Structure 1
């Protein structure tokens, strides 16, 4: 969530971003279709079918025997996301004989790792959710470079862009095992049907849709404001579409200040939703007490009278929808984040596996996580998106997820990574501080655009050191 950190799209042109938006929008438009099992012939995406069959057999990745070896893997994942990842680790255990323990981590993860390292008990591998955190781990001397086998697997399965965002100063440290399309708005299909509205394609259409949903008796939006990262994602989508990719890259590197007029415009636009108390479930105070999982489940619980009709967040929302009785593609559908400017935004995110304790076993795990075999296991479980281009699209359990995955792979290197994830963690990834806190305060008082900008700039200057 630096001017020296690894980023993708630093000098990308508007033309390339437009092409990416078109590709991802085309994939996301299929979200309106009912999820089904058809068209799974495997001819539409995988190369060589490494991930197309049963992930328990027919492996293409070579792993050493590690009988008697033990490993710890740390990540901030909880709930179904954690349980599904543990199944991937279990298969690694079966193939190598190693014993792997999952260690629940807390945000900010760099602070968590610092305490573990100070106590002499660092995990062997950590899943870092920000490129900024990867650089911090390298700068602190914690991260270890990927070995030859992991690099080989990475080179065979990932586009250059996804390889590069796991690198620092040309050395590769991270395997981006998990990706996210963070430019989707999910909606309760029954609410939309009852209100007589269709999927909006522009911001103005979204505002009209929200008004119609409100008039039908349902609060338009659910916002997980207790988790500040959801608010940064809202801002990034509005800003990328409205200000454009070049400004986005400049703000991500703090080459322009948060007091810039482009930020003023984006916050003012956000206030068109956040500033309408009746448009947010529970109002601002309620949203600030709502954690992300609850923001999803309350949108798809209660049939045609849920607490809200829409919720913004990435493809991983499906994991939380699965906790309700709603079916993705039928009761729960999604549309691309509407265009605020001339082009719809496309923001991506992800989690990188980084080795802290260099060993044969840790390098083998990084190699495993870079393989289509590992990604295919979790893809079949749903609520997961891999940037691995050799995962057969048929591994994804429904048309919704399949379309998002195919669009991500088709985009290649043309994507914008989550802005806050590129920032120093003190600014873009710490609960109660920096951007998270400033946007929570803005949600509480959307009229204070100028004050919010001043606070954002003060916090950013301190974190970036400029």
Structure 2
């Protein structure tokens, strides 16, 4: 989630001692012959190490989407993994689009983008595995100890990814202090939700009640999925869309788009801005409601996570849970070291490191509740236990649907008066194409 491409190394091996010893021997002359002899022996030992690989430290690289505050949180996990495994780990952040497109190009050329690639799309994991690009990670995690189902990242009974951070998409975040100051309450039904938006819209200093976050289109897709899920039997509808058993022209999907259209036409959604920048407007109470994920408490603009609360879109009894999956390309220099590092990072101890820092929901069920020092994170974890969890629609389907979905939604927010029917018709065609391509794999 950012533009930084600077690799970050968390452990550094310092060398150069030998040169200092040689220099000292030269100054001592004949009296330093003992030092010279010991130096020669050290050089011989180095030569053995170089030939046998016995003293070479294992090192791997990781690429993922975490930048800024989230990068620091992940690097704390990296520190833990390095200490436990002795493997030197370098991290290089990339944005989602760069990972999705870059790995396709690299893998086809037989090149590893990194030794460990954090992949947000289960569909891509399966596709890459079918093409022989990924190493099996079945032995790095026990599905009985994790919330995600390995089915979505498995081919022929082998899991080709390991689950790490679980991003929940719970609903609309707000500041408790803002609600208290203006006598606002969480809505119990959709009519109350509309009343709340109208009330917030009338408060001085508010640009719009709802934030329109954007990156490559994905934040708009999150809020759209929430409106799909609030329809009749929405959780099953989402699953059926993913499986190709429901059409995007389903009247419930049309209704979801029409509900969003109504809010757009009333001016309840803000100007579209980068999702990270929108947090600044959110914290200043200029855009008081923001449909975002469980990473929200850790963003830099959030000065006090204890002032945060969240409510689900009324009528919704299911929540999207999108996992960040570790994958290991077959083309890496040290596949086994990468597998070892992955196993440690997804372990209960590894995931607890980030959970204790906030903004993290563990996919490992063995992480103790005490790890959630930020109260709202524990509440989110408990909320997830009380509702049905469903896969992220576009992440699970992947391209070509995902790219088209993002593009259509960006255009919809820009021109909300357009007819909804052609939008869902075009998306349904791409949905069916995507499902057919997956069935052929």
Please give the range of the TM-score, normalised by the shorter of the 2 chains.
0.7 to 0.9
Shift, 1:98, TM fit? 1.4
Contact kept in structure 2, 1:179 and 1:349, CA below 8 Å: yes
What secondary structure is seen at the aligned counterpart in 2 of 1:329?
A: helix
2:392 corresponding residue in structure 1: 418
Specify whether residues 264 and 295 from structure 1 end up closer, same or farther in structure 2 by C-alpha distance, changes over 3 A only: same
1:136 corresponding residue in structure 2: 127
Root-mean-square deviation (CA, aligned residues, Å) is 2.3
Contact kept in structure 2, 1:181 and 1:349, CA below 8 Å: yes
The 5 A counterparts of 1:21-170 are 68-108=57-97, 109-117=99-107, 118=109, 120-146=111-137, 148=139, 150-151=140-141, 154-155=142-143, 157-159=145-147, 161-170=148-157
- Which range moves more in the overlay, 356-365 or 116-125? 116-125
What secondary structure is seen at the aligned counterpart in 2 of 1:425?
A: coil
Contact kept in structure 2, 1:238 and 1:345, CA below 8 Å: no
1:344 corresponding residue in structure 2: 317
2:168 counterpart of 1:181? yes
1:333 corresponding residue in structure 2: 309
Shift, 1:129, TM fit? 0.7
1:250 corresponding residue in structure 2: 240
Shift, 1:156, TM fit? 5.4
Specify whether residues 213 and 93 from structure 1 end up closer, same or farther in structure 2 by C-alpha distance, changes over 3 A only: same
2:288 counterpart of 1:298? no
Shift, 1:220, TM fit? 0.8
Cα distance in 1, alignment partners of residues 186 and 392 from structure 2 = 24
Specify whether residues 121 and 134 from structure 1 end up closer, same or farther in structure 2 by C-alpha distance, changes over 3 A only: closer
The 5 A counterparts of 1:142-291 are 142-146=133-137, 148=139, 150-151=140-141, 154-155=142-143, 157-159=145-147, 161-217=148-204, 218=206, 219-244=208-233, 245-277=235-267, 279-281=268-270, 286-287=271-272, 290-291=273-274
- Which range moves more in the overlay, 205-214 or 344-353? 344-353
Cα distance in 1, alignment partners of residues 287 and 386 from structure 2 = 32
Contact kept in structure 2, 1:378 and 1:384, CA below 8 Å: yes
Specify whether residues 124 and 275 from structure 1 end up closer, same or farther in structure 2 by C-alpha distance, changes over 3 A only: same
Q: Residue by residue, what CA displacement relative to the aligned partner does 1:23-57 show, whole Å, maximum 9, x if unpaired?
A: xxxxxxxxxxxxxxxxxxxxxxxxxxxxxxxxxxx
Cα distance in 2, alignment partners of residues 440 and 423 from structure 1 = 19
Cα distance in 1, alignment partners of residues 181 and 349 from structure 2 = 43
Q: TM-score, normalised by structure 1?
A: 0.75
Cα distance in 1, alignment partners of residues 153 and 369 from structure 2 = 24
1:380 corresponding residue in structure 2: 356
Unaligned runs of 5+ residues in structure 2 are 1-53
Larger helix proportion of the pair: 2
User: Computing the radius of gyration over CA atoms, which structure comes out larger, 1 or 2?
Assistant: 2
Q: Residue by residue, what CA displacement relative to the aligned partner does 1:368-398 show, whole Å, maximum 9, x if unpaired?
A: 1221110011111111111211111111122
Cα distance in 2, alignment partners of residues 204 and 141 from structure 1 = 51
Specify whether residues 257 and 338 from structure 1 end up closer, same or farther in structure 2 by C-alpha distance, changes over 3 A only: same
Q: Residue by residue, what CA displacement relative to the aligned partner does 1:98-155 show, whole Å, maximum 9, x if unpaired?
A: 111112233332311123332734311111112112112212211111153x14xx24
Contact kept in structure 1, 2:143 and 2:149, CA below 8 Å: no
What secondary structure is seen at the aligned counterpart in 1 of 2:72?
A: helix
Q: Residue by residue, what CA displacement relative to the aligned partner does 1:38-82 show, whole Å, maximum 9, x if unpaired?
A: xxxxxxxxxxxxxxxxxxxxxxxxxxx996111011112211112
Specify whether residues 221 and 141 from structure 1 end up closer, same or farther in structure 2 by C-alpha distance, changes over 3 A only: same
2:411 counterpart of 1:441? yes
The 5 A counterparts of 1:402-417 are 402-408=378-384, 410=385, 414-417=388-391
- Which range moves more in the overlay, 385-394 or 133-142? 133-142
Contact kept in structure 1, 2:329 and 2:335, CA below 8 Å: no
Contact kept in structure 1, 2:87 and 2:341, CA below 8 Å: no
Shift, 1:213, TM fit? 0.8
What secondary structure is seen at the aligned counterpart in 1 of 2:290?
A: strand
